[in-house]
Structure 1
Amino acid sequence: MASAAEMLEVRNPRTGEADHRIPVSSREEVAAKAAALRENQRAWEAMGVEGRCGVMARWLGAVKARAADIGEADAVDTGGCHTSYIQGFITMGNIGGWLEDAPKAFADLAWKGMSTSMPTVEVESQVVAYPITGVISPWNAPLMLALLDAIPALFAGSAVLLKPSEVTPRVIEALFETVREVPELAKVFDYVTGPSQVGQAVIEEVDTICFTGSVPTGRKVAVACAERLIPCNLELGGKDPCIVTENADLERAATAVLRGAVYATGQVCYSIERVYVHESVHDQFVALLAEKAGEVRFNAENPKAGHIGPFTFAPQAAIVTAHIADAVAQGATVVTGGEVENIGGGLYLRPTILTGVNHDMLIMQDETFGPCIPVMAYSDTEEAIRLANDTHFGLTASVIAGDAEEAKAIGRRINAGGIFLQDTFLTFAKLRTFGSDSFGWSGYGSPRIGPESLRRFLRRKSLLTQTGAVADIRNDHHLDEEA
């Protein structure tokens, strides 16, 4: 355990006060935990997927018993996001889903038969887990995004070393109370805490990395992994667009855009951050959106009663403020919101609608990660698609049109991994169905959701058995027999 001099204070996003402390794991502690995990992983993988499912089913029971406590801890970390309070139940769904999906995923990877290119050779597949998966998770949705990688890695047979964000560590402490109730799991699932250098130490000790966070940090993670020649899977930023066509139901569109942009105070990787509306309905749409935005309430008085909470990470409020100021300086108009409010030490921002925006502004180019809705008019479909694709990012996008077919025709031409049609915020719909890739700067590596995501933690081997005669070099017919 670290000494008092090696403790890090943690801010409460609702009060602005440092009311929690975490130890800063030393490089030696990280190495020791990794060594123990590596030793224990062999028995974990040897259980086979059915054996691991039995252990994970017991963990599911432990999580169920503490689901409410886990949600409360997540809510303290985030400032009271609605999703936080149900994180225990989301975790149960994650584990339960993989209890059903993991055996089938392994079965789908198995193959045995005769070679089509060498008919006397029997080919059999084998999958081998990476011994240790390192998970470096972000401060937004701290538990959900950590476990989106950690849980399938465990089902795959990896041990997992988790480094949560130092901004939101409380929920991980609550989670590991349940892990310790399952001794077999506790031997292969551990965590370390502290700032960025702890994450660097994790990269030096593991065999593959899953990182969720910003593009600049993701680049550093990728370089560090490249230097060690280990794989990494990165989910990075987004600047997700929504196109609203002239035939769209504007009531529906305004409702969907508002939620997609400001849910969780806009601190979601697939939040709507750019809105393109046909010029013929632009003003009507903005008026509807502003009316709905005016009904969104802070949760300052009661974290379970309002619609949006404070900024989880205080410096993010300054970034959002800078984006708004840059837009206004270049001619944008703030229709609603626009000013960060300090309420009891928490930093809040009302849904901020901006018009008169263009792609020279930070708010239309860089990830804002706050409850801002810049709305830009377009003249025709070609322009809308061009504007939506004018970005380095490509995580998700939304299209709300007159009907689903019109929306789908536009969506097929947008460069993003997930396209939401006639709504926003539909990522959860594909969780157990199939994954999608991130485009551009939004990510690197294999899909992190769907049954196929288990493949990230496995290496495939082939066992080749010659059932016929062996080849004799003296019978190679391409040689010149007279030579």
Structure 2
Amino acid sequence: MTSTAATTGHEPGKPTTVGGVVGAPSAARAAQLARRAAGGQDSAPVEITAPFTGLVTATLPQATDPDVRKVFGEAREAQRSWAARPVRERQQVLTRLHRLILDRQDEILDLVQLEAGKARLDAFDEVASTALVAGYYGKHSARILGDRRVAGVLPLLTKAGELRHPKGVVGVISPWNYPLALTSMDVLPALVAGNAVVQKPDNQTALSALWLHELAEEAGLPAGVWRIVLGRGSQIGDALVEESDYLCFTGSTPTGKELAAKVARRLTGYSLELGGKNPMIVLPDAPVAKAAAGAVTACFSSAGQLCVSVERIYVHESIREEFTRAFVAKTEALRLGGELGYGADMGSLTSESQLATISAHVEDARQKGATVLTGGRPRPDLGPLFYEPTVLTDVPETAELFAGETFGPVVSIYGYTDIEDAIERANDTTYGLNASIWTGNQAAGWAVASRIKAGTVNVNEGYSATFGSVALPMGGMKESGYGRRNGAEGLLKYTESQSIAVQRGLRLRPPRLVPPKLWTGGMTAGLRLLRRIR
């Protein structure tokens, strides 16, 4: 496996460093972004370290429960004037933001790498996704949110329509793994729908969210409409749940269940994107080289720390040996490294807890009889959180990683002979977030995809086809979540629908001098006629 050493120091004449990473935004710039967070003057700040080096990158203020409740009150005030603006005016902010994101991508690429430990190409996926989201809602929001006329109960006499009103103040709890993309997917549609947003990004990757916040205000978003608070869920989570008119959460399934129970007691809405144990099925007619290359991207992008990445591969026995050989070879050719550039194919993990979980899963599987075909070890020679991309086979059902989410650069290969068996095994999980099908026959791929119990399924792709198609809803089935982001659903969920009907002429109850039986007979005849007309 090719390796590229992480940069750990500053050389004379070279760019300044943050967290020991050459070329990263300056410490002054990191501090400037950190000051955009609300609250935290009365609590101890938290130091954040760079995954590549383990050195400090930023010191972040931490909000308290009273801070958060105060911020919600201020956001509620700001929301009223923002919601009063026409939708087309609000969506113009996103159109301008789209341009700014692409024009200034170099700094955010550095920030995402610095905070999350990603390879630069994986960081660019976040830039592209954010631009796509801003572009889509910047173009289509007015149409999706527009007043809708419908057929009234009595033609010509009943004027009926649907209006959409913003929820109010939306609480967004964002994870550490895709700090830019997931911020944009959740925050931008909430804003263009006329809401204010109070977001709590993960401390580890908060600078990326704060960077987008800065650009949004430069694009014309009024100050106070989108607020960012920093802190641990144990300290400020109750305030976020209790003050939000709608809650959007991305994270683990256990935490999602706890939040859903708390929100349910308030009878306010929520959406959740949770865990996954995503399968790939390789059909016997699949082009092996393309499927193997696609599997490398599907499994090891962002070091496997992606909710929709593949952790299980089912390959038809007729091509299993050939596929495995090609897949292992391509995996071993990946370049690992921690540089701010395109020199590495895979970066590091983001946290010590992820490294501990992944190491434990692989060792548990090995001890229970699994075979490690490649990888299976940390790489402290490159940096504190590097772990080799790992491929296993012969993983027994008793192993933790057989059914449990690993969330790292680890994948298991299984053989099958009957497609019905492969589909059943792919669906044999409590999760249902994403899946991937590889085949030489698109119609066959679509047919198999339609039988997979997952919110998104990609044919001849790992996850990018659905992830990048912003007009499509994205979310999980079963314990992988509730609700959808992206598309019309990802916008309408942040609104309350209101139905209005104006009745003219004929009443919907019999006049005083008309016998009820005669009136109901006439209405029955009319209902039969309406069915034919409509």
Q: Shorter-chain-normalised TM-score: which range?
A: over 0.9
Residue in 1 that maps onto 2:67: 29
Residue in 1 that maps onto 2:201: 164
Distance 1:88 1:460, change over 3 A: same
2:140 to 101, 110, 113: 101
- How big is the shift at 1:429? 5.9
2:267 to 218, 222, 229: 229
> Deviations 1:118-159 (Å, cap 9, x if unpaired)?
863221221111111111100001111011011011111111
Residue in 1 that maps onto 2:26: none
Distance 1:357 1:40, change over 3 A: same
How far apart, in 1, do the equivalents of 2:510 and 2:408 lie? 69
Pair 1:123 & 2:153 matched: no
Residue in 1 that maps onto 2:19: none
How far apart, in 1, do the equivalents of 2:502 and 2:217 lie? 44
> Deviations 1:296-318 (Å, cap 9, x if unpaired)?
01023565311111101220111
SS of 1:15's equivalent in the other structure is coil
How far apart, in 1, do the equivalents of 2:101 and 2:496 lie? 30
Pair 1:360 & 2:393 matched: no
> Deviations 1:154-182 (Å, cap 9, x if unpaired)?
11111111110122112123223323435
Bigger mean CA deviation after superposition, 386-395 or 238-247: 238-247
Bigger mean CA deviation after superposition, 401-410 or 84-93: 84-93
Distance 1:248 1:56, change over 3 A: closer
Pair 1:92 & 2:131 matched: yes
How far apart, in 2, do the equivalents of 1:105 and 1:401 lie? 35
How far apart, in 2, do the equivalents of 1:335 and 1:67 lie? 38
What number of residue pairs does the alignment pair up?
477
Residue in 1 that maps onto 2:240: 202
1:112 to 149, 156, 162: 149
Asked if 2 retains the 8 angstrom alpha-carbon contact of 1:299 and 1:306, the reply is: yes
SS of 2:247's equivalent in the other structure is strand
**CA RMSD of the aligned region, Å?**
2.3
The code of the aligned residue for 2:454 comes to A
1:72 to 110, 120, 135: 110
Pair 1:465 & 2:502 matched: yes
Asked if 2 retains the 8 angstrom alpha-carbon contact of 1:179 and 1:186, the reply is: no
How far apart, in 2, do the equivalents of 1:4 and 1:437 lie? 38
Residue in 1 that maps onto 2:10: none
How far apart, in 1, do the equivalents of 2:299 and 2:438 lie? 14
How far apart, in 2, do the equivalents of 1:468 and 1:375 lie? 69
Residue in 1 that maps onto 2:253: 215
How far apart, in 2, do the equivalents of 1:476 and 1:229 lie? 44
Pair 1:456 & 2:493 matched: yes
Distance 1:89 1:409, change over 3 A: closer
Asked if 1 retains the 8 angstrom alpha-carbon contact of 2:273 and 2:475, the reply is: no
The code of the aligned residue for 2:141 comes to A
> Deviations 1:400-455 (Å, cap 9, x if unpaired)?
1242223223222211121111232234466333215521111102x211133211
SS of 1:80's equivalent in the other structure is coil
Distance 1:340 1:409, change over 3 A: same
How far apart, in 1, do the equivalents of 2:150 and 2:440 lie? 51
Structure 2 counterparts to residues 364-383 of structure 1, below 5 A: 364-383=402-421
Residue in 1 that maps onto 2:430: 392
Q: Which runs of 5+ in 1 are unaligned?
A: none
> Deviations 1:45-76 (Å, cap 9, x if unpaired)?
11121121233344445545533222221221
The code of the aligned residue for 1:352 comes to T
Structure 2 counterparts to residues 73-472 of structure 1, below 5 A: 73-81=111-119, 82-85=121-124, 87-88=126-127, 90-107=129-146, 110-112=147-149, 114-116=151-153, 120-181=157-218, 184-196=221-233, 197-300=235-338, 304-343=342-381, 345-428=383-466, 431-445=469-483, 447-470=484-507, 471=509
SS of 2:315's equivalent in the other structure is strand
- How big is the shift at 1:253? 1.3
- How big is the shift at 1:396? 1.2
How far apart, in 1, do the equivalents of 2:455 and 2:436 lie? 11
- How big is the shift at 1:273? 0.5
Distance 1:423 1:96, change over 3 A: closer
- How big is the shift at 1:3? 4.0
Distance 1:64 1:283, change over 3 A: closer
How far apart, in 2, do the equivalents of 1:303 and 1:240 lie? 29
Asked if 2 retains the 8 angstrom alpha-carbon contact of 1:274 and 1:373, the reply is: yes
Asked if 1 retains the 8 angstrom alpha-carbon contact of 2:337 and 2:382, the reply is: no
Pair 1:2 & 2:40 matched: yes
Asked if 2 retains the 8 angstrom alpha-carbon contact of 1:358 and 1:376, the reply is: no
Asked if 1 retains the 8 angstrom alpha-carbon contact of 2:118 and 2:303, the reply is: no
SS of 2:493's equivalent in the other structure is helix
> Deviations 1:20-61 (Å, cap 9, x if unpaired)?
221111112111111111111111111121121233344445
- How big is the shift at 1:467? 1.0
SS of 2:268's equivalent in the other structure is coil
> Deviations 1:238-257 (Å, cap 9, x if unpaired)?
11101112222211111111
> Deviations 1:195-241 (Å, cap 9, x if unpaired)?
11323321211100111111111111111211221111000111110
How far apart, in 2, do the equivalents of 1:409 and 1:65 lie? 41
Structure 2 counterparts to residues 18-57 of structure 1, below 5 A: 18-57=56-95
> Deviations 1:94-129 (Å, cap 9, x if unpaired)?
22221111122123xx32355135863221221111
Bigger mean CA deviation after superposition, 56-65 or 170-179: 56-65
How far apart, in 1, do the equivalents of 2:416 and 2:480 lie? 25
TM-score by length of 2: 0.84
